[in-house]
Amino acid sequence: MRKSSATMVYIGLAACFLLSATVSTGIAQTEDVNRPLIVTGTGPAPSREVANARDLALREALRTAVEQAAGRLLPAERLVRYYPLLAERILDHSMTYVQDYQIVQETTGPQIYRVTAQTTLQMERLKRDLQQLGLFLADAERPTVVILVAEKLGPKASWLWWWRISPAEQQTLAFTQALGRFFSSRGLVPLLPASLLSKVPQDPLYQGPLLDDVPGCALGKTLGAQLVVLGEVSHQPAAGRATPATASGSLRAIRAEGGPVLAQASATIPVQPTPEQPAPGHGFTLLAERLGAQLAEAMLAPFVTGAKAPREVTVRVLGVRSYGELLRIKEYLQTSPEVTRVDQVQLTGGQGTVTLFFSGALEEIGRGLQGRDFGGFTTSTDSVGGDSITVSIIKR
Residue 22's pLDDT is what? 32
Q: Do residues 226 and 188 share a domain? A: yes
Q: Do residues 98 and 207 share a domain? A: no
Query: 4 Cβ partners below 8 Å, 6+ apart?
Result: 102, 103, 106
Residue 47's pLDDT is what? 53
Q: Do residues 293 and 147 share a domain? A: yes
Say how far residue 395 (Cα) sits from the centre of its chain: 43
In a domain, 9, yes or no: no
Q: Do residues 233 and 117 share a domain? A: no
pTM of the model: 0.70
293 vs 22: CA distance, rounded Å: 34
State which amino acid sits at residue 34.
N
Q: Do residues 106 and 64 share a domain? A: yes
Question: Among residues 65, 76, 72, which one has the least CA distance to residue 36?
Answer: 65
Q: Do residues 125 and 271 share a domain? A: no
In a domain, 104, yes or no: yes
Q: Do residues 226 and 347 share a domain? A: no
In a domain, 23, yes or no: no
342 vs 309: CA distance, rounded Å: 15
162 vs 337: CA distance, rounded Å: 36
Torsion of CA 373, 379, 380, 385, to 10 degrees: -120
Q: Do residues 248 and 103 share a domain? A: no
In a domain, 277, yes or no: yes
In a domain, 110, yes or no: yes
Domain stops at, among 304, 327, 349:
304
36-44 vs 98-109, strand pairing mode: unpaired
Provide the 3-class DSSP secondary structure of residue 146.
Answer: strand
Residue 35's pLDDT is what? 61
> 41: domain range?
36-132
Local mean pLDDT, 10-residue blocks, the chain (396 residues)? 37 32 33 67 74 87 92 87 93 92 88 90 90 87 95 91 83 91 95 90 90 95 96 90 88 94 95 65 90 94 78 90 91 85 85 87 89 91 89 86
Q: Do residues 123 and 161 share a domain? A: no
Categorise residue 352: left if φ over 0, alpha if ψ from -120 to 50, beta otherwise. beta
Residue 369's pLDDT is what? 92
Q: What is the CATH number of the domain that holds 74?
A: 3.30.1660.40
Q: What is the CATH number of the domain that holds 346?
A: 3.30.70
Residue 48's pLDDT is what? 59
Residue 185's pLDDT is what? 94
Domain stops at, among 132, 161, 186:
132
Q: Do residues 238 and 167 share a domain? A: yes
Number of domains in the chain: 3
Provide the 3-class DSSP secondary structure of residue 139.
Answer: helix
In a domain, 226, yes or no: yes
Following DSSP, what letter does each residue of 296-360 receive, concatenated? Answer: HHHHHHHHHTTPPPPEEEEEEEES---HHHHHHHHHHHTTSTTEEEEEEEEEETTEEEEEEEE-S
Q: Do residues 162 and 196 share a domain? A: yes
Q: Do residues 126 and 245 share a domain? A: no
Q: What is the CATH number of the domain that holds 297?
A: 3.40.50.10070
In a domain, 384, yes or no: yes
Domain stops at, among 132, 166, 194:
132
In a domain, 81, yes or no: yes
Residue 282's pLDDT is what? 81
